[in-house]
Amino acid sequence: MELAGQQIRAMGAAVFEVGLFKPDDQRKDNEPAMIPRVWDSETLMRSVPWMKFHNSQGRNIYVRPKGEHDLSLVDDLKAEAVGRMNASGFRPAVLVETSAGNFQAWLKHPRVLSKEVSTAAARALAEQFGGDRGAADWRHFGRLAGFTNRKLKYQSPEGLFPFVRLVAAPGCTYQAAAKFLDEVESKLKEEAQRRVRQPMVSGRPAKQESLKTIEHFRANPAYGGDGTRSDMAFAIYALSHGISEAQVKTALRSRDLSHKGDERRQSEYVNRTIKKALDFEDHPISR
């Protein structure tokens, strides 16, 4: 697929991680959620027919650079935001339309960023342009162009899925990079100095960033009142924000789990949710 090749060349990494992901509600028993691969660009392109087959079987095709890199992914952008990016010196190296009117942008920095700076840059870009802050970190997967978006909500009445479309792939560094990265790194230094000065309580800063509780996820209409889905979403979020497994388990048990069975089955459900969340954290994906 030439579209995939254009995207890979524009991203410019030496080695890529590819993820072939199928959601829980579409998988058969014992079928893995994620099939991960690590390839150089040449091997990746030779593997397009194999990926195309799995895409036809319901798997979404994702890609990201392996290791620390010089790219930032901004997910879930609208056309207006993309226009603002181009007009303000933040032209993406790769722009992909993942579904009608929804875009992912890869911005290329002038150098490889550390994990901390890369995550801070991704979050700052998401905030500035209205992207998904939950998908803003140094190692998030984005979609690979030329394959179909297999989310069921995008399936047409005829059973077809939309193709992930490559809108642009200039592969260039964005013009505002130097100033933007200076601001990101300055803020990181200020935060580090503030943490040093901050009083400690029980080995932790007296004031911590406000985090979402499990009740936030249970009340979110996006999960349709499905406790299993909201539990999983909370577990992924909480573990990625440094909340301990023990605290997450306590939160999961804050609702009545008797419908899962006896105490043993309830514990199995909680442990299974934690394991899946940890697996997902190892393979974060975007829309």
Pairing between strand 142-143 and 60-65? Answer: antiparallel
Q: Which domains does the chain have, with CATH numbers?
A: 2-180 (3.30.70.1790), 214-282 (no CATH)
Q: Contact at 8 Å (CB) between 177 and 109?
A: yes
Q: Contact at 8 Å (CB) between 98 and 106?
A: no
- Cα–Cα distance for residue pair 181/135, rounded to 1 Å: 19
pLDDT digits (tens, 9 = 90+) for 28-87: 878 888 999 999 999 999 999 999 999 999 999 999 999 999 999 999 999 999 999 999
98: closest CA among 38, 150, 176?
150
Around 56, how many Cα atoms within 13 Å sit in the side-chain half-sphere?
6
pLDDT digits (tens, 9 = 90+) for 183-233: 999 999 988 787 666 544 444 444 445 678 898 888 888 878 888 989 999
Tokens standing for residue 47:
């593997």
Q: Contact at 8 Å (CB) between 234 and 215?
A: no
- Cα–Cα distance for residue pair 20/37, rounded to 1 Å: 8
